[in-house]
Chains A and B, each alone.
Chain A
């Protein structure tokens, strides 16, 4: 085993007791080996700090609880119901209009007279309690439309922040990405880019914002790069996408 391999194996606890003892003795006797060891140790320690963030279970529960409460609420405003065709379950006759409650409790500043304030309870049920694949499918299908209902937009934003699976949160970003040309979606993603810590979600948002080819994204990326606490993969993605945007202008 090469010296470097042995150092790494030691740090990763891959040596057996005898090999560890041998290595430690060798390190006592060889200052160069010890120096090399300390250097590797420092490098690995800095890598250790790259722990990925996951949304708190409390947040998820809060979200699920809210959605469940909405389903349990009395069926009001049924005359405003609009069936969203791509969803197979949207045809359920007993659909409940949740938008009024949704808007009041979820989004303080949303338009109250929207024509699109509809959301199907089964959809809510699916995105809050369904299997991962069902949640991803629900997210993709509901955004497979030309215009995005503000209520649904808000619900997908909640999924992007709170779903327990980062694969579902990734699907939420991909879906919102179809509407990144809308300023409200762009602002929503810029805000999320700064708040969400999970590297894969940040990377997806960076790529999505770059599609818009405007200065807001570039300014945001540059401001983020000025901070020191970025994950390496995210930092790399910001650099790459700034270059992409600079080539365009």
Chain B
């Protein structure tokens, strides 16, 4: 009886938390996310792209009934979740329309998508990327970027935010680059990863528990520099660049 009541309460709670969403059919394409704060990207095995609002969307004002939400770029909310989406062939661009709808947006991304995220806002929050096998292209000013269960290829930079990435495996399909100007870059990869690590720091240090091998140059020397060097893991593989301007780079094996 006690459990039954608990389940009923839980069900009620879940219904209260019902999420609003927008869906695009198709398992592949280009996904552009422009200036949307608080974004989570989650890998999906479904053949559709779904954008969910985390939690309940803020209450739509009574006065706005019969009106549409517009922004200075001429876009209006055509998703019903405070975003504008435009389509160009197989390419979808999402833009923030509302200044008030401060919820986190969760994008469920099929493998076949190529994801581009760009944000210049100091209020962008943390960009979470979980179990996404799609190729990633992230340009951020303030976001902290946290990745887990990712494979690459990817190019990610943030001026102020740190980058933390836990790779489930390292794809050999294309280069991987993680760069933060002012914060740490902290990466862990599986022990069997094959990669050419390019490790660069200006004012910080590089820390690692991986036995890297250092290739000889044409002049017969191994060029070792504490601030900028190349190290091969398991004989080398895909180009994998980790860079921090004013902080440290951490490279770990899982």
Q: Find out whether the CB atom of B135 lies under 8 angstroms from the CB atom of A133.
A: yes
CA distance A137 to B174 in the complex (A): 7
On chain B, the residues within 8 Å of A134 by CB distance are 174
Interface range, B side: 20 to 34
Q: Report the bound CA distance from A207 to B201 in whole Å.
A: 12
24 A-B pairs with CB atoms under 8 Å apart are: A13-B100, A47-B122, A51-B120, A52-B120, A52-B139, A132-B153, A133-B154, A133-B174, A136-B155, A136-B174, A136-B175, A136-B177, A165-B116, A165-B139, A167-B137, A167-B139, A167-B157, A167-B177, A168-B155, A199-B141, A199-B159, A200-B181, A233-B181, A237-B181
B residues lining the A interface (CB < 8 Å): 59, 99-100, 102, 114, 116, 118, 120, 122-123, 135, 137-139, 141, 152-157, 159-160, 173-175, 177, 179, 181-182, 202, 239, 245
Q: How far is the CA of A165 from the CA of B157 in the complex (A)?
A: 11
Indicate the size class of the contact surface on chain A.
20 to 34
| Chain B proximity mask over A194-214: 1 for CB below 8 Å, otherwise 0 | 000001100100010000000
Give the residue of A51, A168, A203, A207 whose beta carbon is less than 8 angstroms from that of B159: A203
Residues of B within 8 A of A136 (CB): 155, 174-175, 177
Decide if A13 touches B173 in the complex (CB within 8 Å).
no
A170 touches B137 (CB 8 A): no
- Point out the residues of chain A lying under 8 angstroms from B122, CB to CB: 47-48, 50
Q: Which of A1-35 contact B (CB under 8 A)?
A: 12-14, 17
Q: Residue of B at shortest CB range from A244? A: B202
Q: Dominant SS at the B interface?
A: loop
Contacting residue for B175 out of A13, A54, A140, CB 8 A: A140
A128 on interface, CB distance cutoff 8 Å? no
